[in-house]
Amino acid sequence: MPTLAELLTDPEPPRPVITAECPVIDSGGLDAIAEHATRLAPYADALNATDNAAAHAHASNVAVAIALKRLGVEPIMQVACRDKNRLALEADIVGAALHGVSTICCMTGDDVTAGDEPEARRVFDMDSPQLIRATAGLARGRYLSGRALDPAPPLLIGAVENPAAPPFAYRVRRGLKKAAAGARFLQLQLCYHPDRLAEFTELAENAGLTRRVALLPTIALVKGARALRYMNDNVPGIHIPEPVIERVHNATDQREAAYQLALEQARHALSLPGVRGLHFTDFRHDDALGKICADLGLPAIRSAPDGDALVM
């Protein structure tokens, strides 16, 4: 089965790339990770191992990424600058690489005020372009200090960007800066404004960004209007127009209305220039990812992973 790096660099890809976010892990042990992977991995080329998402503490990105790797699923290990200095960030990347985790998604991270422990001390020793550059240095065989790393880990580096936050040209310039630092894909923030996503991708195409990175817009699979309202009110960088929320809220079947909204967003995103695939965030924990992939004409790409692979 091709790796994510091979799929993203294929000049004539056979199908859109699909990545998905492994839900955060707080309890349930390795069985909880295997349960999520069983549901998501048949349809996703790689699964994100998040790094204290939304400034909430969860099981570590390194631990979850290694578990996904042992299940036979390619992990995308998110690395956020908020909680760790450069020594810890480099150590996490190199340590995960020892276990075969080679795809890294670099981000600055939400401020601690977005989470449930706002008294936590911010670190932000680096921002995301600096972290991307440091990760690219590791892939070339050097720590930031200049000390040799031999053999160098074969890293595929990604980042994130918000296509819905104006000014859009600035967001594209940030994307170019991340590409110059070493990013090869951008997982885009949730965008409930189709016109803004279209404008971002058009600007990215005209600026040459899409020739340097693969764009993966994010689609959220939610149960209904309550989740949309929560994201609009509480998640930094996301704005959901009131008519969109009301459309789902007033539907006879909110789950189906929310699914149809996601399907429309996915089809629209795949029609845009420079979009090489989709990234899914699953808040439903049901069969929605398999259903939406089928409706998009994207069949399962692998059988469900074997949870026994996690047994020591």
pLDDT in tens, 239-280: 999 999 999 999 999 999 999 999 999 999 999 999 999 999
Mean predicted lDDT score pLDDT of the chain = 95
The predicted model gives 172-201 an average pLDDT of: 97
From the list 115, 48, 124, 54, the residue with the least C-alpha distance to 88 is 124
**pLDDT for res 94:** 98
Burial of 60 (0-12, 13-18, 19+ CB in 10 A): middle
pTM, two decimal places: 0.95
Show the domains of the chain with their CATH numbers: 16-310 (3.20.20.220)
- Please, are residues 39 and 284 in contact by the beta-carbon 8 Å criterion? no
- For residue 312, is pLDDT > 50? no
pLDDT category, 309, cuts 50, 70, 90?
low
How far is Cα 237 from Cα 254, in angstroms, rounded to an integer?
A: 24
For 167-218, the three-class secondary structure string (H helix, E strand, C coil) is CHHHHHHHHHHHHHHCCCEEEECCCCCHHHHHHHHHHHHHHCHHHCCEEEEE
Using CB atoms within 10 Å of the CB of residue 266, give its burial: 0 to 12 exposed, 13 to 18 middle, 19+ buried. Answer: buried
- Report the chain's terminal Cα–Cα distance, integer Å: 25
